[in-house]
Amino acid sequence: MTADYLLHLAAGSGGILYVMALLLTVALTVIIERTWYLHRLLRKGDELVGALAGQRHLDRHRLETLREDSVCYPHGALLCAAIETIDAGAADRMADFLEEAIMAEAAHIDRRMWLLDTIVTLAPLLGLLGTIIGMFNSFEVLGRPGSAPTEITGGIAEALVATASGLFIAIVGLVFFNALGNHVRQIVHHLERIKVMLVNRLADAAPSQRPLVVSGPVSGPVSADGSLHALSAAARI
């Protein structure tokens, strides 16, 4: 299949094959970039989960060490939120702050996935449009005097190339879209698991102080067994 023949096919489809070549380039770019990025996040998530699973308690120094190793990852934002929560003395609300950090990072994890989803839907439709345009050109040959049947059948065969190209792009894009979507779900699950592990291991980072609540005035002498004196005084009343 020579370059001249490809140009002939593209011209027969009304230029649709040029658009589909652009869609294929964009799809391959997104697939390669997202595969590389999400694979890195999966490895970092497994590494961080393993590091947290090996410890029953965490302190701020250990959190700083883990955060420095995860600066360029969404997991680093989660650890940073945990450190800021401890510094603010709001350890009892740590789960809420960590959930907020996960929601903020989730938008970056599935970034550009919408492009792949759009290409999967658009490519077959463009292929069908290119085939219809090619069929118009093929049936136009019928109006010419002395046209051979082989010209018509050859034009129809060339027109179907657009549909086949659109289906090929959609199939490849759909396979990788589902695979990458599964990676995204695993990464979000890692973040949720890390959140639970941080909350459990930092539960005693800021111990709550329960104030002594006195229901009413206590009369009577105060001594080591003051509670007994208070009860006896109440009984006498």
Mean pLDDT of 34-53: 92
Return phi, psi of residue 59, to 5°. -125, 175
7 pLDDT higher than 90? no
Who contacts 194 (Cβ-Cβ below 8 Å, separation ≥6)?
45, 48, 49, 52, 75, 78
Kindly report, residue by residue over 72-111, the tens digit of the pLDDT. 888 888 889 888 888 777 767 888 889 989 998 888 898 8
Whole-angstrom distance, CA of residue 115 vs CA of residue 27: 8
Rg over CA atoms, the chain: 34
Q: Which DSSP state fits 73?
A: S
Q: What residues contact 69, with CB distance under 8 A and at least 6 apart?
A: none
Q: In whole angstroms, how far apart are CA 152 and each of 61, 140, 214, 223? A: 77, 9, 99, 112
Report the amino acid identity of residue 78.
L
Q: What is the pLDDT of residue 204?
A: 57
Report percent pLDDT > 70 for the chain.
70
- Residue type, position 163, single letter: T
- Residue 191: pLDDT band by 50, 70, 90 thresholds? very high
Measuring CA to CA, how many Å separate 170 from each of 24, 130, 134, 233?
Answer: 9, 15, 20, 87
Report the pLDDT value the prediction gives residue 121, as an integer from 0 to 100. Answer: 96
**Distance in angstroms (rounded) separating the CA atoms of residues 117 and 169:** 12
Cα gap 132→127, rounded to integer Å: 9
One-letter amino acid for residue 94 of the chain = M
In whole angstroms, give the CA distance from residue 229 to residue 236.
Answer: 11
Tell me the average pLDDT of the chain: 79
What span, in angstroms and rounded, lies between the C-alpha atoms of 81 and 88?
Answer: 10
12-18 mean pLDDT = 73
pLDDT band at 150 (very low <50, low <70, confident <90, very high): low
Please report the beta strands in 1-123, taking only residues with DSSP state E, as ranges in sequence order: none
Confidence of residue 146 (pLDDT cuts 50, 70, 90): low
Which amino acid type is present at position 25? T
Q: What does the pLDDT average to over 57-72?
A: 84
- Please give the full DSSP string across 135-168, using - where no structure is assigned: HHHHHHGGGSTT--HHHHHHHHHHHHHHHHHHHH
Give the 3-state DSSP-derived string for 27-55, with helices as H, strands as E and coil as C: HHHHHHHHHHHHHHHHHHHHHHHHHHHCC
Domain ranges in the chain are: 3-201
Query: Which of 70, 64, 65, 103 has the alpha carbon at shortest distance from 84?
Result: 64
